[in-house]
Amino acid sequence: MNFGGVVENVVTREEFPLSKALETLGNETIAVIGYGVQGPGQSLNLKDNGFNVIVGQRRDSKTWDKAVADGWKPGETLFEIEEACERATIIQYLLSDAAQISIWPTVRKHLTPGKALYFSHGFAVTYKERTGIVPPSDVDVILVAPKGSGTSLRRLFLEGRGLNSSYAIFQDATGRAYDRVIALGIGVGSGYLFETDFQREVYSDLTGERGTLMGAIQGIFAAQYQVLRDNGHTPSEAFNETVEELTQSLMPLVAENGMDWMYSNCSTTAQRGALDWWKPFRDATLPVFEKLYAEVACGNEAQRSIDSNSKADYREKLQAELKELRESELWQAGATVRELRPERAKK
């Protein structure tokens, strides 16, 4: 498929329908290991699509209880991690990057010849010198990375839609890795699948998360909100002009039609200003993005994540940082604005 003059390998649900995916994996048992960010959405979508899927999770944990609440039955479709790995022919390794490192010895011993090891992030394999995760040579090693949260993957599936995903094959030991990975991509609810490799997936993912998806966008929100507040604008006005109009009005239109359409369908005053100012913003942020990508590529970002997320007090410190964000005036104003949205007012 041609993307702006560049030809990419893309697989659609028309080319590889669900019926073919089910036939491809008809004799497979898929074990979803981990029930945190991606586990619920991927496992429930697979189950609803008719695949033979089980969940492996630590017993007596909040996520075990969540899995039970979602309908997984202990001893039937919900097992301790080791038993799930033993039962599976495909192990979907969906724990956090830090947890993957700690559980790896358990998973590794159940990767017998012919099985498939599936990731939704290239982190563990790309940074193997730091993670110690080196799959055996006689198993398929594959990746499907939905371009969004597990929550979005599930929500779009229930709406009859799909979330685009990348796919990659790191190791094809059986000669079936391609069929397996595409079938799994269709099964978890992908809209379409585009080809990548493990390294490119993790480099783009870490850059995106720290950049326009979360880090940069929060920084831009905070900067514009502060400038408006410093110049006498109310919290409601500052939040609406910074966040609410973007997320509720403009971004859905950009997603549907593109930024060029957006520029063509706004006021001439907004149009002129947007055209004049987008390049200065690009030029100001380009060095930051270049530095960010370099830190990802050399492994520094990966090591920071491993070091931080492996500490015993990680969650305590995380909650303190999230509390600071949540209690900032910007997001306190946001909470109030969300309550005032018309759909909330009707309830």
pLDDT for 315-345, tens place per residue? 899 999 999 999 999 999 999 999 998 865 4
Residue 82 pLDDT exceeds 60: yes
Comma-separated ranges of CATH 1.10.1040.10 domains in the chain: 208-345
Per-chain mean pLDDT for the chain? 94
User: What are residue 21's phi and psi, to 5 degrees?
Assistant: -60, -45
User: Residue 110 catalytic?
Assistant: no
Across 217-242, average pLDDT: 96
The Cα 94–Cα 71 span in angstroms is 19
The Cα 47–Cα 187 span in angstroms is 9
Residue 161 pLDDT exceeds 70: yes
Classified as helix, coil or strand, 119 is strand
Position 49 scores a pLDDT of: 97
For residue 160, which amino acid is it?
G
Which stretches of the chain are DSSP H helices? 18-24, 39-48, 62-69, 81-87, 97-108, 123-126, 128-131, 150-158, 177-187, 198-210, 215-230, 235-239, 245, 251-257, 259-264, 268-297, 300-309, 314-326, 329-339, 342-345
Answer whether 213's CB lies under 8 Å from 185's CB: no
Residue 48 pLDDT exceeds 70: yes
Residue where the block lists tokens 């403009």: 250
Domain 2-196: homologous superfamily in CATH = NAD(P)-binding Rossmann-like Domain (3.40.50.720)
Comma-separated ranges of CATH 3.40.50.720 domains in the chain: 2-196
Position 343 scores a pLDDT of: 67
Position 344 scores a pLDDT of: 57
Position 294 scores a pLDDT of: 97
Across 287-303, average pLDDT: 96
Classified as helix, coil or strand, 311 is coil
**Active-site annotation holder among 47, 115, 121, 154:** 121
| pTM, to two decimals | 0.89
Percent of the chain residues topping a pLDDT of 90: 89
Position 114 scores a pLDDT of: 98
pLDDT for 139-149, tens place per residue? 999 999 999 88
pLDDT for 245-267, tens place per residue? 999 999 999 999 999 999 999 99
Residue 346 pLDDT exceeds 60: no
Position 347 scores a pLDDT of: 47
Across 301-320, average pLDDT: 90
Position 98 scores a pLDDT of: 87
Fold classification of 208-345 (topology level): N-(1-d-carboxylethyl)-l-norvaline Dehydrogenase; domain 2 (1.10.1040)
